[in-house]
């Protein structure tokens, strides 16, 4: 029996940015090179995780909870696999936490990524995830992300969309925001964009 095709929460975020990024990485030999800003963001991400170990839970408005780092989760039923930076567990409740090195607010792609982690936590660990926390290491702000029914349904739908085009090896349409293509390291492979 063939294994079900698994996608990652990160791919849900990338798909929101541009569906073709996921297609190129999954279905072609094209290697996406790491840009300077990607390297910088990755390094900041690691240092933020180290600092987190010394902090209290006050920024999450929680008085107690166990921190679990680098939580690897897989659900064949959901078609998802991924590693969560941080999960705070308080009894039967759990709160996924994501760190981003950005000045912006959490966008729909970030919310899809976090909701995918929440679905994984509920499916694999049998805990309840009503909300999670998205923290910007640049603005020092922490945002609550609610995993409501609408976001959950959208997350499940996007998982199926991505699995569909990977399985069919079908190139999805480009982003509708052509400005994203200007500095995209994959633009040489997108013949129908800028
Ligand atoms: S060039 Fe544009 S359409 Fe192609 S992968 Fe990059 S952002 Fe997407």
By CB atoms closer than 10 A (0-12, 13-18, 19+), residue 171 is middle
Q: Decide: 155 in ligand 1 pocket, CB within 6 A.
A: no
Write down the domain spans for the chain. Answer: 9-189
What is the atom index within ligand 1 of the atom nearest the CA of 175? 3
Kind and range of the H or E run holding 89: strand 80-90
What is the atom index within ligand 1 of the atom nearest the CA of 185? 6
Q: Which CATH number does the domain 9-189 belong to among 3.20.20.70, 3.50.50.60, 3.90.320.10, 3.90.1300.10?
A: 3.90.320.10
CA of 172 to the centre of ligand 1 (A): 11
Residue 64: closest CA among 99, 91, 92, 98: 91
Whether the CA torsion 40, 42, 45, 47 is positive or negative: it is negative
Q: What is the pLDDT of residue 45?
A: 76
Taking the complete model, does pTM exceed 0.85, yes or no? yes
What percent of the chain lies above the pLDDT cut of 90? 65
- Alpha helix (H) ranges present in the chain? 9-17, 19-27, 36-52, 108-125, 149-168, 179-182
Low-confidence ranges of the chain (pLDDT < 70): 1-2, 34, 192-194
Q: What is the pLDDT of residue 185?
A: 86
Query: Residue 84 CB: number of other CB atoms within 10 A?
Result: 24
CA of 177 to the centre of ligand 1 (A): 9
Taking only the tens place, the pLDDT of each residue in 61-78 is 888 899 999 999 999 999
Q: Decide: 93 in ligand 1 pocket, CB within 6 A.
A: no
Q: Decide: 187 in ligand 1 pocket, CB within 6 A.
A: yes
Q: CA-to-CA distance for 68 and 149, rounded, in angstroms?
A: 26
Q: What is the pLDDT of residue 20?
A: 94
CA of 161 to the centre of ligand 1 (A): 18
């Amino acid at each position: 029996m063939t294994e079900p095709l698994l996608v990652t929460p990160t791919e849900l975020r990338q798909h929101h940015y541009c569906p073709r990024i996921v297609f190129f990485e999954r279905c072609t030999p094209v290697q996406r090179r790491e840009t300077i800003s990607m390297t910088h963001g990755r390094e900041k991400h690691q240092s933020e995780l180290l600092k987190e170990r010394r902090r209290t839970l006050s920024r999450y408005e929680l008085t107690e909870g166990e921190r679990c780092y680098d939580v690897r989760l897989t659900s064949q039923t959901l078609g998802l696999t991924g590693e969560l930076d941080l999960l705070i567990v308080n009894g039967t409740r759990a709160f996924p936490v994501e760190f981003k090195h950005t000045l912006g607010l959490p966008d729909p792609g970030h919310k899809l990524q976090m909701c995918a982690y929440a679905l994984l936590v509920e499916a694999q660990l049998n805990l309840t995830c009503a909300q999670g926390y998205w923290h910007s290491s640049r603005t020092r702000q922490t945002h609550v992300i609610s995993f409501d029914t609408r976001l959950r349904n959208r997350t499940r739908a996007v998982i199926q969309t991505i699995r569909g085009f990977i399985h069919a090896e079908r190139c999805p349409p480009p982003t509708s925001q052509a400005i994203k293509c200007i500095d995209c390291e994959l633009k040489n492979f997108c013949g129908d964009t800028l």
